[in-house]
Structure 1
Amino acid sequence: MWDDQADENQDGQLSIKELEKWIAAKVKEHYSQAVRDNFWIFSALDKNHDGRVSWDEYHVNFMLEKGFDDNYAKHHPEDHKGLERSVKEKILLDKASWFEAANSDPDALNIDEFLTFRHPEHSHVSLLKMVNDIISNLDENGDEHLSEEEFAQLTPDETTRQSKEEWKKERILEFRQSIDQNGDGRASRQELLMYNDPENPVHARSEARELVAQADTNGDNKLSLDEVLAKKDIFLGSKMVNTARNIHDEF
Protein backbone atom coordinates (compact mmCIF):
# COMPACT_ATOMS: atom_id res chain seq x y z
CA MET A 1 0.00 0.00 0.00
CA TRP A 2 2.85 2.40 0.86
CA ASP A 3 5.67 2.15 -1.66
CA ASP A 4 8.92 4.00 -1.03
CA GLN A 5 9.38 4.32 -4.80
CA ALA A 6 6.34 6.59 -4.92
CA ASP A 7 8.00 8.92 -2.40
CA GLU A 8 10.48 10.37 -4.89
CA ASN A 9 12.20 12.84 -2.56
CA GLN A 10 12.17 10.36 0.34
CA ASP A 11 10.72 12.87 2.80
CA GLY A 12 8.32 10.33 4.26
CA GLN A 13 5.28 11.98 2.67
CA LEU A 14 3.43 11.69 -0.61
CA SER A 15 2.57 14.88 -2.45
CA ILE A 16 -0.24 15.09 -5.00
CA LYS A 17 2.36 15.20 -7.78
CA GLU A 18 4.11 12.08 -6.45
CA LEU A 19 0.79 10.25 -6.16
CA GLU A 20 -0.20 11.32 -9.66
CA LYS A 21 3.07 10.07 -11.17
CA TRP A 22 2.84 6.78 -9.27
CA ILE A 23 -0.75 6.10 -10.32
CA ALA A 24 0.03 6.95 -13.96
CA ALA A 25 3.04 4.60 -13.85
CA LYS A 26 0.91 1.80 -12.37
CA VAL A 27 -1.70 2.22 -15.12
CA LYS A 28 1.01 2.09 -17.80
CA GLU A 29 2.52 -0.97 -16.12
CA HIS A 30 -0.88 -2.68 -16.11
CA TYR A 31 -1.34 -2.09 -19.83
CA SER A 32 2.12 -3.42 -20.70
CA GLN A 33 1.73 -6.46 -18.44
CA ALA A 34 -1.68 -7.22 -19.92
CA VAL A 35 -0.24 -7.38 -23.44
CA ARG A 36 2.65 -9.62 -22.33
CA ASP A 37 0.40 -11.97 -20.37
CA ASN A 38 -2.10 -12.11 -23.22
CA PHE A 39 0.57 -13.39 -25.63
CA TRP A 40 1.62 -16.26 -23.37
CA ILE A 41 -1.91 -17.24 -22.33
CA PHE A 42 -3.15 -17.13 -25.93
CA SER A 43 -0.22 -19.25 -27.10
CA ALA A 44 -0.85 -21.83 -24.36
CA LEU A 45 -4.57 -22.10 -25.19
CA ASP A 46 -4.16 -22.26 -28.96
CA LYS A 47 -3.62 -26.02 -28.93
CA ASN A 48 -3.83 -26.55 -32.69
CA HIS A 49 -1.70 -23.47 -33.47
CA ASP A 50 -4.17 -22.00 -35.94
CA GLY A 51 -3.80 -18.47 -34.60
CA ARG A 52 -7.19 -18.58 -32.93
CA VAL A 53 -8.51 -19.67 -29.54
CA SER A 54 -11.91 -21.32 -29.65
CA TRP A 55 -14.50 -20.97 -26.91
CA ASP A 56 -14.09 -24.68 -26.18
CA GLU A 57 -10.31 -24.32 -25.76
CA TYR A 58 -10.77 -21.41 -23.39
CA HIS A 59 -13.65 -23.00 -21.50
CA VAL A 60 -11.88 -26.33 -20.89
CA ASN A 61 -8.93 -24.43 -19.42
CA PHE A 62 -11.29 -22.36 -17.26
CA MET A 63 -12.89 -25.51 -15.84
CA LEU A 64 -9.49 -27.08 -15.14
CA GLU A 65 -8.40 -23.93 -13.29
CA LYS A 66 -11.57 -24.19 -11.20
CA GLY A 67 -10.41 -27.62 -10.02
CA PHE A 68 -12.55 -29.90 -12.17
CA ASP A 69 -10.96 -33.05 -13.57
CA ASP A 70 -10.00 -33.38 -17.22
CA ASN A 71 -12.94 -35.63 -18.08
CA TYR A 72 -15.56 -33.23 -16.65
CA ALA A 73 -13.84 -30.19 -18.18
CA LYS A 74 -14.05 -31.72 -21.64
CA HIS A 75 -17.35 -33.61 -21.44
CA HIS A 76 -19.58 -31.74 -18.97
CA PRO A 77 -23.31 -31.11 -19.61
CA GLU A 78 -23.92 -27.92 -21.58
CA ASP A 79 -26.14 -26.49 -18.81
CA HIS A 80 -23.55 -27.25 -16.07
CA LYS A 81 -26.27 -28.74 -13.92
CA GLY A 82 -25.11 -29.06 -10.32
CA LEU A 83 -22.42 -26.39 -10.46
CA GLU A 84 -22.27 -23.63 -7.87
CA ARG A 85 -24.21 -20.54 -8.87
CA SER A 86 -21.12 -18.31 -8.74
CA VAL A 87 -19.30 -20.53 -11.25
CA LYS A 88 -22.32 -20.58 -13.57
CA GLU A 89 -22.57 -16.79 -13.41
CA LYS A 90 -18.87 -16.43 -14.26
CA ILE A 91 -19.33 -18.71 -17.28
CA LEU A 92 -22.31 -16.66 -18.49
CA LEU A 93 -20.42 -13.39 -18.03
CA ASP A 94 -17.41 -14.80 -19.85
CA LYS A 95 -19.58 -15.95 -22.74
CA ALA A 96 -21.21 -12.53 -23.05
CA SER A 97 -17.79 -10.83 -23.02
CA TRP A 98 -16.52 -13.38 -25.54
CA PHE A 99 -19.28 -12.55 -28.04
CA GLU A 100 -18.67 -8.83 -27.57
CA ALA A 101 -14.97 -9.28 -28.37
CA ALA A 102 -15.55 -11.47 -31.44
CA ASN A 103 -15.52 -9.38 -34.62
CA SER A 104 -15.97 -12.13 -37.20
CA ASP A 105 -16.22 -15.64 -35.76
CA PRO A 106 -18.22 -15.92 -32.50
CA ASP A 107 -16.68 -19.33 -31.81
CA ALA A 108 -13.02 -18.26 -31.90
CA LEU A 109 -10.90 -15.18 -31.16
CA ASN A 110 -7.62 -14.02 -32.65
CA ILE A 111 -4.92 -12.66 -30.35
CA ASP A 112 -6.19 -9.05 -30.51
CA GLU A 113 -9.79 -10.09 -29.85
CA PHE A 114 -8.59 -12.28 -26.99
CA LEU A 115 -6.88 -9.24 -25.46
CA THR A 116 -10.17 -7.33 -25.72
CA PHE A 117 -11.99 -10.26 -24.09
CA ARG A 118 -9.60 -10.35 -21.12
CA HIS A 119 -8.92 -6.59 -20.96
CA PRO A 120 -11.76 -4.57 -22.54
CA GLU A 121 -9.96 -1.35 -21.59
CA HIS A 122 -7.58 -2.10 -24.49
CA SER A 123 -10.43 -2.04 -26.98
CA HIS A 124 -11.40 1.06 -28.92
CA VAL A 125 -14.83 -0.54 -29.36
CA SER A 126 -15.31 -0.81 -25.58
CA LEU A 127 -14.18 2.77 -25.10
CA LEU A 128 -16.52 3.95 -27.85
CA LYS A 129 -19.42 2.08 -26.23
CA MET A 130 -18.68 3.83 -22.93
CA VAL A 131 -18.62 7.24 -24.64
CA ASN A 132 -21.85 6.49 -26.53
CA ASP A 133 -23.51 5.56 -23.23
CA ILE A 134 -22.32 8.84 -21.67
CA ILE A 135 -23.68 10.88 -24.58
CA SER A 136 -26.95 8.94 -24.58
CA ASN A 137 -27.46 9.61 -20.87
CA LEU A 138 -26.37 13.26 -20.72
CA ASP A 139 -27.05 14.80 -24.14
CA GLU A 140 -30.30 16.65 -23.49
CA ASN A 141 -30.63 18.53 -26.79
CA GLY A 142 -29.73 15.58 -29.02
CA ASP A 143 -26.82 17.26 -30.86
CA GLU A 144 -24.47 14.30 -30.21
CA HIS A 145 -22.17 16.60 -28.19
CA LEU A 146 -21.99 17.49 -24.51
CA SER A 147 -22.05 21.05 -23.27
CA GLU A 148 -20.30 21.83 -20.00
CA GLU A 149 -23.69 22.02 -18.29
CA GLU A 150 -24.65 18.60 -19.61
CA PHE A 151 -21.28 17.18 -18.57
CA ALA A 152 -21.66 18.66 -15.08
CA GLN A 153 -24.85 16.63 -14.58
CA LEU A 154 -22.73 13.62 -13.62
CA THR A 155 -23.40 13.02 -9.95
CA PRO A 156 -20.60 12.95 -7.36
CA ASP A 157 -19.09 9.62 -6.38
CA GLU A 158 -20.60 8.49 -3.08
CA THR A 159 -17.13 8.45 -1.48
CA THR A 160 -16.39 12.12 -2.20
CA ARG A 161 -16.64 14.71 0.55
CA GLN A 162 -17.57 17.52 -1.82
CA SER A 163 -20.95 19.18 -1.95
CA LYS A 164 -22.88 19.01 -5.20
CA GLU A 165 -22.05 22.64 -5.94
CA GLU A 166 -18.32 22.10 -5.38
CA TRP A 167 -18.49 18.99 -7.53
CA LYS A 168 -20.28 20.85 -10.33
CA LYS A 169 -17.70 23.65 -10.32
CA GLU A 170 -14.89 21.10 -10.58
CA ARG A 171 -16.64 19.26 -13.41
CA ILE A 172 -17.04 22.49 -15.38
CA LEU A 173 -13.38 23.38 -14.78
CA GLU A 174 -12.34 19.88 -15.85
CA PHE A 175 -14.50 20.19 -18.96
CA ARG A 176 -12.80 23.43 -19.95
CA GLN A 177 -9.26 22.34 -19.14
CA SER A 178 -9.21 18.64 -20.05
CA ILE A 179 -12.04 17.83 -22.47
CA ASP A 180 -12.97 20.75 -24.72
CA GLN A 181 -9.71 20.75 -26.68
CA ASN A 182 -10.83 23.17 -29.41
CA GLY A 183 -12.56 25.57 -27.01
CA ASP A 184 -15.92 25.57 -28.80
CA GLY A 185 -17.87 24.94 -25.59
CA ARG A 186 -18.92 21.45 -26.63
CA ALA A 187 -17.37 18.01 -26.21
CA SER A 188 -17.35 15.96 -29.38
CA ARG A 189 -17.27 12.16 -29.43
CA GLN A 190 -13.56 12.29 -30.30
CA GLU A 191 -12.81 14.63 -27.38
CA LEU A 192 -14.74 12.35 -25.02
CA LEU A 193 -12.84 9.31 -26.34
CA MET A 194 -9.52 11.01 -25.59
CA TYR A 195 -10.72 12.10 -22.16
CA ASN A 196 -12.06 8.68 -21.14
CA ASP A 197 -8.94 6.79 -22.23
CA PRO A 198 -7.69 5.23 -18.94
CA GLU A 199 -4.14 6.27 -19.88
CA ASN A 200 -5.12 9.93 -20.05
CA PRO A 201 -3.05 11.58 -17.27
CA VAL A 202 -6.06 13.60 -16.14
CA HIS A 203 -7.42 10.50 -14.38
CA ALA A 204 -4.25 9.93 -12.37
CA ARG A 205 -4.27 13.60 -11.40
CA SER A 206 -7.92 13.47 -10.36
CA GLU A 207 -7.50 10.31 -8.29
CA ALA A 208 -4.37 11.68 -6.59
CA ARG A 209 -6.24 14.83 -5.56
CA GLU A 210 -9.21 12.81 -4.31
CA LEU A 211 -7.00 10.50 -2.23
CA VAL A 212 -5.30 13.48 -0.58
CA ALA A 213 -8.66 15.19 0.00
CA GLN A 214 -9.98 12.11 1.79
CA ALA A 215 -6.92 11.17 3.85
CA ASP A 216 -5.06 14.43 4.59
CA THR A 217 -6.08 15.09 8.19
CA ASN A 218 -3.56 17.84 9.03
CA GLY A 219 -4.24 19.92 5.92
CA ASP A 220 -0.67 20.05 4.57
CA ASN A 221 -1.77 18.73 1.16
CA LYS A 222 0.47 15.68 1.57
CA LEU A 223 0.03 12.20 2.97
CA SER A 224 2.07 10.60 5.73
CA LEU A 225 2.24 6.85 6.28
CA ASP A 226 -0.07 7.22 9.31
CA GLU A 227 -2.65 9.09 7.22
CA VAL A 228 -2.55 6.40 4.53
CA LEU A 229 -2.92 3.60 7.08
CA ALA A 230 -5.82 5.40 8.76
CA LYS A 231 -7.69 5.30 5.44
CA LYS A 232 -6.28 2.00 4.21
CA ASP A 233 -9.59 0.78 2.76
CA ILE A 234 -9.70 3.76 0.40
CA PHE A 235 -6.13 3.15 -0.77
CA LEU A 236 -6.57 -0.61 -1.15
CA GLY A 237 -9.46 0.07 -3.52
CA SER A 238 -7.63 2.75 -5.52
CA LYS A 239 -5.54 2.63 -8.69
CA MET A 240 -2.52 3.29 -6.48
CA VAL A 241 -2.80 -0.31 -5.19
CA ASN A 242 -5.47 -2.22 -7.11
CA THR A 243 -4.87 -0.85 -10.59
CA ALA A 244 -6.19 -3.75 -12.67
CA ARG A 245 -9.50 -4.13 -10.85
CA ASN A 246 -10.16 -0.39 -10.93
CA ILE A 247 -9.60 -0.14 -14.66
CA HIS A 248 -11.67 -3.25 -15.39
CA ASP A 249 -14.54 -1.97 -13.24
CA GLU A 250 -14.71 1.14 -15.41
CA PHE A 251 -15.52 -1.06 -18.39
Structure 2
Amino acid sequence: MLRSLFMALAVSTVFAGLPTNEETKRMMDHLSDAEHFKNEHHNKQFDHDAFLGEDQAKTFDQLPPEESKRRLGIIVDKIDTDKDGFINPVELKDWIRYTQRRYIDEDVERHWKQHNPDNEEAIKWETYKKNVYGFMDEMDDKEMTAPNSEAYTFAALMKRDRRRWHYADGDQNDALNRTEFAAFLHPEDHGQMRPVVVLETLEDIDKDKDGKISLEEYIGDMYQPEAGDEEEPDWVKQERDQFTGYRDTDKNGYMDENEVRSWIAPPEFDHAEAEARHLVFEADADADEKLSKAEVLHKYDLFVGSQATDFGEALARHDEF
Protein backbone atom coordinates (compact mmCIF):
# COMPACT_ATOMS: atom_id res chain seq x y z
CA MET A 1 0.00 0.00 0.00
CA LEU A 2 2.75 2.44 0.92
CA ARG A 3 4.64 1.60 -2.24
CA SER A 4 1.56 2.31 -4.31
CA LEU A 5 0.94 5.53 -2.46
CA PHE A 6 4.46 6.74 -3.17
CA MET A 7 4.23 5.75 -6.81
CA ALA A 8 0.90 7.47 -7.32
CA LEU A 9 2.04 10.70 -5.76
CA ALA A 10 5.44 10.72 -7.41
CA VAL A 11 4.16 10.14 -10.93
CA SER A 12 1.03 12.27 -10.64
CA THR A 13 2.53 15.47 -9.29
CA VAL A 14 3.24 18.09 -11.97
CA PHE A 15 5.99 20.60 -11.32
CA ALA A 16 4.40 23.78 -10.13
CA GLY A 17 7.01 25.72 -8.22
CA LEU A 18 5.68 28.80 -6.53
CA PRO A 19 8.38 31.46 -6.62
CA THR A 20 7.18 34.90 -5.65
CA ASN A 21 9.73 36.97 -7.55
CA GLU A 22 8.48 38.23 -10.89
CA GLU A 23 11.06 36.58 -13.13
CA THR A 24 10.59 32.94 -12.12
CA LYS A 25 6.82 32.71 -11.56
CA ARG A 26 5.42 29.21 -11.87
CA MET A 27 7.83 27.58 -14.27
CA MET A 28 7.20 25.66 -17.43
CA ASP A 29 10.83 24.49 -17.41
CA HIS A 30 11.62 22.01 -14.65
CA LEU A 31 14.41 23.69 -12.73
CA SER A 32 13.41 22.94 -9.16
CA ASP A 33 10.48 21.97 -6.99
CA ALA A 34 11.75 24.38 -4.38
CA GLU A 35 10.26 27.86 -4.13
CA HIS A 36 12.81 30.49 -5.17
CA PHE A 37 11.76 32.79 -2.38
CA LYS A 38 10.19 31.58 0.85
CA ASN A 39 8.49 34.34 2.77
CA GLU A 40 10.95 37.25 2.70
CA HIS A 41 14.06 35.11 2.41
CA HIS A 42 15.86 33.94 -0.69
CA ASN A 43 15.67 30.15 -0.93
CA LYS A 44 19.08 28.94 -2.06
CA GLN A 45 17.80 25.39 -2.58
CA PHE A 46 16.11 26.66 -5.74
CA ASP A 47 19.48 27.83 -7.07
CA HIS A 48 21.17 24.58 -6.03
CA ASP A 49 18.60 22.53 -7.95
CA ALA A 50 18.77 24.78 -11.00
CA PHE A 51 22.56 24.85 -11.10
CA LEU A 52 23.25 21.19 -10.30
CA GLY A 53 20.07 19.42 -11.25
CA GLU A 54 17.95 17.93 -8.49
CA ASP A 55 19.84 14.65 -8.47
CA GLN A 56 23.28 16.16 -7.83
CA ALA A 57 21.88 18.81 -5.49
CA LYS A 58 20.85 16.09 -3.06
CA THR A 59 24.36 14.66 -3.18
CA PHE A 60 26.05 18.02 -2.62
CA ASP A 61 23.79 18.72 0.35
CA GLN A 62 25.43 15.78 2.10
CA LEU A 63 29.03 16.81 1.46
CA PRO A 64 31.42 18.64 3.79
CA PRO A 65 32.29 22.17 2.58
CA GLU A 66 35.80 21.20 1.45
CA GLU A 67 34.58 18.41 -0.83
CA SER A 68 31.69 20.55 -2.02
CA LYS A 69 34.09 23.32 -3.07
CA ARG A 70 36.43 20.86 -4.77
CA ARG A 71 33.63 19.44 -6.87
CA LEU A 72 32.28 22.90 -7.63
CA GLY A 73 35.68 23.85 -9.02
CA ILE A 74 35.52 20.91 -11.43
CA ILE A 75 32.03 21.95 -12.52
CA VAL A 76 33.21 25.53 -13.12
CA ASP A 77 35.84 24.19 -15.51
CA LYS A 78 33.16 22.23 -17.37
CA ILE A 79 30.92 25.28 -17.70
CA ASP A 80 33.76 27.46 -19.04
CA THR A 81 33.52 26.03 -22.54
CA ASP A 82 35.70 28.69 -24.21
CA LYS A 83 38.39 28.15 -21.54
CA ASP A 84 38.98 31.85 -20.93
CA GLY A 85 38.95 31.40 -17.17
CA PHE A 86 35.47 32.92 -16.70
CA ILE A 87 31.84 31.83 -16.79
CA ASN A 88 29.74 34.19 -18.87
CA PRO A 89 25.91 34.31 -18.71
CA VAL A 90 25.52 32.31 -21.94
CA GLU A 91 27.74 29.49 -20.67
CA LEU A 92 25.85 29.46 -17.39
CA LYS A 93 22.48 29.41 -19.17
CA ASP A 94 23.62 26.49 -21.34
CA TRP A 95 24.77 24.61 -18.24
CA ILE A 96 21.44 25.11 -16.47
CA ARG A 97 19.62 23.83 -19.55
CA TYR A 98 21.96 20.83 -19.62
CA THR A 99 21.27 19.92 -15.98
CA GLN A 100 17.55 20.36 -16.55
CA ARG A 101 17.63 18.10 -19.61
CA ARG A 102 19.74 15.49 -17.80
CA TYR A 103 17.33 15.35 -14.87
CA ILE A 104 14.32 14.89 -17.13
CA ASP A 105 16.00 12.29 -19.35
CA GLU A 106 17.11 10.20 -16.39
CA ASP A 107 13.74 10.48 -14.67
CA VAL A 108 11.93 9.37 -17.82
CA GLU A 109 14.33 6.48 -18.31
CA ARG A 110 13.82 5.31 -14.73
CA HIS A 111 10.04 5.36 -14.96
CA TRP A 112 10.02 3.89 -18.47
CA LYS A 113 11.93 0.85 -17.21
CA GLN A 114 9.75 0.61 -14.13
CA HIS A 115 6.49 0.55 -16.07
CA ASN A 116 7.82 -1.19 -19.17
CA PRO A 117 10.34 -3.84 -18.04
CA ASP A 118 10.07 -5.70 -21.37
CA ASN A 119 10.87 -2.50 -23.29
CA GLU A 120 7.79 -2.65 -25.48
CA GLU A 121 7.27 0.16 -27.98
CA ALA A 122 4.51 1.69 -25.87
CA ILE A 123 2.84 1.46 -22.47
CA LYS A 124 -0.93 0.92 -22.50
CA TRP A 125 -3.09 2.95 -20.15
CA GLU A 126 -4.53 -0.20 -18.59
CA THR A 127 -1.01 -1.42 -17.81
CA TYR A 128 -0.03 1.87 -16.24
CA LYS A 129 -3.30 2.05 -14.33
CA LYS A 130 -2.80 -1.44 -12.92
CA ASN A 131 0.79 -0.69 -11.89
CA VAL A 132 -0.01 2.58 -10.15
CA TYR A 133 -3.62 2.30 -9.05
CA GLY A 134 -4.23 -1.45 -8.93
CA PHE A 135 -4.55 -1.33 -5.15
CA MET A 136 -7.74 0.70 -5.59
CA ASP A 137 -9.58 -2.41 -6.81
CA GLU A 138 -9.93 -3.40 -3.16
CA MET A 139 -11.43 -0.07 -2.13
CA ASP A 140 -15.11 0.33 -1.48
CA ASP A 141 -17.08 2.17 -4.19
CA LYS A 142 -18.95 4.16 -1.57
CA GLU A 143 -15.71 5.34 -0.02
CA MET A 144 -14.44 6.36 -3.45
CA THR A 145 -17.16 9.02 -3.64
CA ALA A 146 -16.80 10.27 -0.06
CA PRO A 147 -14.99 13.63 -0.10
CA ASN A 148 -11.81 13.84 1.98
CA SER A 149 -11.44 10.07 2.15
CA GLU A 150 -8.19 8.37 1.09
CA ALA A 151 -10.02 6.51 -1.66
CA TYR A 152 -11.54 9.75 -2.96
CA THR A 153 -8.09 11.33 -3.11
CA PHE A 154 -6.68 8.43 -5.12
CA ALA A 155 -9.67 8.48 -7.45
CA ALA A 156 -9.00 12.16 -8.12
CA LEU A 157 -5.32 11.44 -8.80
CA MET A 158 -6.20 8.70 -11.24
CA LYS A 159 -8.68 10.97 -13.03
CA ARG A 160 -6.00 13.63 -13.29
CA ASP A 161 -3.48 11.14 -14.67
CA ARG A 162 -6.06 9.89 -17.16
CA ARG A 163 -6.60 13.37 -18.53
CA ARG A 164 -2.87 14.05 -18.74
CA TRP A 165 -2.40 10.69 -20.49
CA HIS A 166 -4.93 11.77 -23.10
CA TYR A 167 -3.09 15.03 -23.75
CA ALA A 168 0.24 13.19 -24.09
CA ASP A 169 -1.19 10.50 -26.42
CA GLY A 170 -0.46 12.12 -29.77
CA ASP A 171 -1.84 9.33 -31.96
CA GLN A 172 -4.75 8.67 -29.59
CA ASN A 173 -4.22 4.90 -29.41
CA ASP A 174 -4.41 4.93 -25.59
CA ALA A 175 -0.78 3.85 -25.33
CA LEU A 176 2.27 6.05 -24.90
CA ASN A 177 5.58 5.57 -26.67
CA ARG A 178 8.69 6.84 -24.94
CA THR A 179 8.38 10.39 -26.28
CA GLU A 180 4.72 10.58 -25.31
CA PHE A 181 5.48 9.06 -21.91
CA ALA A 182 8.08 11.78 -21.35
CA ALA A 183 5.40 14.39 -22.05
CA PHE A 184 3.10 12.64 -19.57
CA LEU A 185 5.72 12.63 -16.81
CA HIS A 186 7.06 16.12 -17.52
CA PRO A 187 4.31 18.16 -19.16
CA GLU A 188 6.12 21.36 -18.23
CA ASP A 189 8.78 20.42 -20.79
CA HIS A 190 6.45 19.89 -23.76
CA GLY A 191 4.58 22.68 -25.51
CA GLN A 192 1.59 20.56 -26.47
CA MET A 193 1.02 19.84 -22.78
CA ARG A 194 0.67 23.49 -21.81
CA PRO A 195 -3.16 23.35 -21.62
CA VAL A 196 -3.11 20.54 -19.07
CA VAL A 197 -0.39 22.28 -17.02
CA VAL A 198 -2.60 25.36 -16.88
CA LEU A 199 -5.64 23.28 -15.89
CA GLU A 200 -3.74 21.47 -13.14
CA THR A 201 -2.37 24.73 -11.78
CA LEU A 202 -5.83 26.26 -11.76
CA GLU A 203 -7.29 23.22 -10.01
CA ASP A 204 -4.52 23.18 -7.40
CA ILE A 205 -5.08 26.79 -6.33
CA ASP A 206 -8.85 26.96 -6.82
CA LYS A 207 -9.82 25.67 -3.38
CA ASP A 208 -13.54 26.41 -3.64
CA LYS A 209 -13.69 24.75 -7.08
CA ASP A 210 -15.56 27.56 -8.81
CA GLY A 211 -13.27 27.42 -11.85
CA LYS A 212 -11.32 30.60 -11.08
CA ILE A 213 -8.71 31.89 -8.65
CA SER A 214 -9.59 34.61 -6.17
CA LEU A 215 -7.07 36.94 -4.60
CA GLU A 216 -7.37 35.02 -1.32
CA GLU A 217 -6.67 31.71 -3.08
CA TYR A 218 -3.73 33.20 -4.95
CA ILE A 219 -2.11 34.51 -1.77
CA GLY A 220 -3.03 31.44 0.25
CA ASP A 221 -1.25 29.21 -2.25
CA MET A 222 2.11 30.83 -1.47
CA TYR A 223 1.72 32.26 2.02
CA GLN A 224 0.26 30.78 5.19
CA PRO A 225 0.62 33.10 8.19
CA GLU A 226 2.01 31.51 11.31
CA ALA A 227 0.48 31.88 14.74
CA GLY A 228 1.40 35.24 16.19
CA ASP A 229 1.94 36.98 12.87
CA GLU A 230 0.48 40.46 13.22
CA GLU A 231 1.29 41.84 9.80
CA GLU A 232 1.87 40.40 6.35
CA PRO A 233 5.42 40.60 4.99
CA ASP A 234 6.07 43.22 2.34
CA TRP A 235 6.46 40.60 -0.38
CA VAL A 236 2.88 39.40 0.26
CA LYS A 237 1.61 42.95 -0.12
CA GLN A 238 3.56 43.17 -3.38
CA GLU A 239 1.95 39.94 -4.59
CA ARG A 240 -1.48 41.38 -3.83
CA ASP A 241 -0.56 44.34 -6.01
CA GLN A 242 0.68 41.97 -8.71
CA PHE A 243 -2.64 40.13 -8.68
CA THR A 244 -4.82 43.21 -8.90
CA GLY A 245 -2.52 45.18 -11.19
CA TYR A 246 -1.26 42.53 -13.61
CA ARG A 247 -2.62 39.01 -13.09
CA ASP A 248 -6.31 39.92 -13.10
CA THR A 249 -6.29 41.57 -16.51
CA ASP A 250 -10.07 42.01 -16.82
CA LYS A 251 -10.29 43.43 -13.28
CA ASN A 252 -13.14 41.17 -12.17
CA GLY A 253 -11.37 40.04 -8.99
CA TYR A 254 -10.44 36.59 -10.29
CA MET A 255 -7.94 34.84 -12.55
CA ASP A 256 -9.56 32.64 -15.18
CA GLU A 257 -7.87 29.97 -17.29
CA ASN A 258 -6.47 32.45 -19.83
CA GLU A 259 -5.06 34.67 -17.09
CA VAL A 260 -3.47 31.67 -15.38
CA ARG A 261 -1.87 30.73 -18.72
CA SER A 262 -0.37 34.21 -19.06
CA TRP A 263 0.93 33.96 -15.51
CA ILE A 264 2.66 30.58 -15.54
CA ALA A 265 3.64 30.43 -19.21
CA PRO A 266 4.51 33.96 -20.32
CA PRO A 267 5.57 34.09 -23.96
CA GLU A 268 9.21 34.68 -24.81
CA PHE A 269 10.33 34.06 -21.23
CA ASP A 270 13.49 31.98 -20.79
CA HIS A 271 13.69 30.60 -17.26
CA ALA A 272 17.23 29.25 -17.67
CA GLU A 273 18.41 32.66 -18.81
CA ALA A 274 16.66 34.36 -15.90
CA GLU A 275 18.28 31.99 -13.39
CA ALA A 276 21.70 32.50 -15.01
CA ARG A 277 21.30 36.29 -14.72
CA HIS A 278 20.28 35.90 -11.10
CA LEU A 279 23.32 33.77 -10.22
CA VAL A 280 25.71 36.15 -11.98
CA PHE A 281 24.15 39.12 -10.17
CA GLU A 282 24.53 37.41 -6.80
CA ALA A 283 28.15 36.27 -7.26
CA ASP A 284 29.72 38.91 -9.54
CA ALA A 285 31.79 40.79 -6.94
CA ASP A 286 33.64 43.03 -9.43
CA ALA A 287 30.54 43.71 -11.56
CA ASP A 288 32.17 42.68 -14.85
CA GLU A 289 29.15 40.55 -15.82
CA LYS A 290 31.07 37.29 -15.71
CA LEU A 291 32.24 34.97 -12.97
CA SER A 292 35.75 33.88 -12.13
CA LYS A 293 36.29 30.57 -10.38
CA ALA A 294 37.22 32.51 -7.24
CA GLU A 295 33.89 34.38 -7.30
CA VAL A 296 31.95 31.15 -7.70
CA LEU A 297 33.85 29.38 -4.93
CA HIS A 298 33.41 32.39 -2.65
CA LYS A 299 29.66 31.95 -3.08
CA TYR A 300 29.75 28.16 -3.08
CA ASP A 301 26.76 27.97 -0.72
CA LEU A 302 24.69 29.82 -3.33
CA PHE A 303 25.63 27.40 -6.09
CA VAL A 304 25.85 24.04 -4.37
CA GLY A 305 25.29 24.40 -0.63
CA SER A 306 26.46 22.03 2.06
CA GLN A 307 25.12 20.85 5.38
CA ALA A 308 28.68 20.04 6.49
CA THR A 309 27.57 16.56 7.47
CA ASP A 310 29.69 13.44 7.67
CA PHE A 311 27.57 11.09 5.59
CA GLY A 312 30.78 9.61 4.19
CA GLU A 313 31.46 8.96 0.56
CA ALA A 314 29.71 10.92 -2.15
CA LEU A 315 26.64 9.20 -3.44
CA ALA A 316 25.80 9.44 -7.11
CA ARG A 317 28.09 10.48 -9.98
CA HIS A 318 31.29 9.90 -8.01
CA ASP A 319 32.99 8.97 -11.27
CA GLU A 320 32.63 12.55 -12.52
CA PHE A 321 34.84 13.90 -9.74
TM range (shorter): 0.3 to 0.5
